[in-house]
Structure 1
Amino acid sequence: KVREAEQAVSRTLLRLHDGKQDFELTNNAAMIQAEARTQGTLSLMLGAIAAISLLVGGIGVMNIMLMTVRERTREIGIRMATGARQRDILRQFLTEAVMLSVVGGLAGIGLALLVGGALLLGKIAVAFEWLAVFGAFGCALVTGVVFGFMPARKAARLDPVAALTSE
Structure 2
Amino acid sequence: YGVSLSFISVEARNEASTNAAKFQITNLLRQRHRILRDDDFAVRSQKDALTIVGTITGGLTLMLAAIGGISLLVGGIGIMNIMLVSVSERTEEIGLRKALGARSSDVLQQFLVESLVLSSLGGAIGTAVGLGTVALVAMVSPLPATIGISTVLVTVGLSGSIGLFFGVVPARRAAKLDPIVALRSL
* 1:20 matched to 2:32: yes
Residue 77 of structure 1 contacts residue 158 of structure 1 at CA under 8 Å; is this kept in 2? yes
In the superposition, the TM-score normalised over structure 1's length comes to 0.82
Inter-CA distance 25–102: structure 2 relative to 1 (3 Å threshold): closer
Letter in 1 for 2:106: D
Among 131, 134, 151, the alignment partner of 2:170 is: 151
Letter in 2 for 1:141: G
In structure 2, what is the Cα distance between the partners aligned to 1:123 and 1:34? 24
- 2:32 counterpart SS class: coil
Among 87, 93, 97, the alignment partner of 2:105 is: 87
| Unmatched runs of 5 consecutive residues or more in structure 1 | none
Among 123, 128, 152, the alignment partner of 1:110 is: 128
| Count of aligned residue pairs for this structure pair | 162
Residue 25 of structure 2 contacts residue 43 of structure 2 at CA under 8 Å; is this kept in 1? no
Select between 39-48 and 106-115 the one with higher mean Cα deviation: 106-115
Inter-CA distance 5–116: structure 2 relative to 1 (3 Å threshold): closer
What's the % identity of the aligned pairs?
Answer: 40
- 2:153 counterpart SS class: helix
| Unmatched runs of 5 consecutive residues or more in structure 2 | 1-15, 35-39
**Structure with greater helix share of residues:** 1
Higher relative contact order (CA 8 A, sep 6+): 1
Letter in 2 for 1:21: H
Supply the RMSD in Å over aligned alpha carbons.
Answer: 2.6
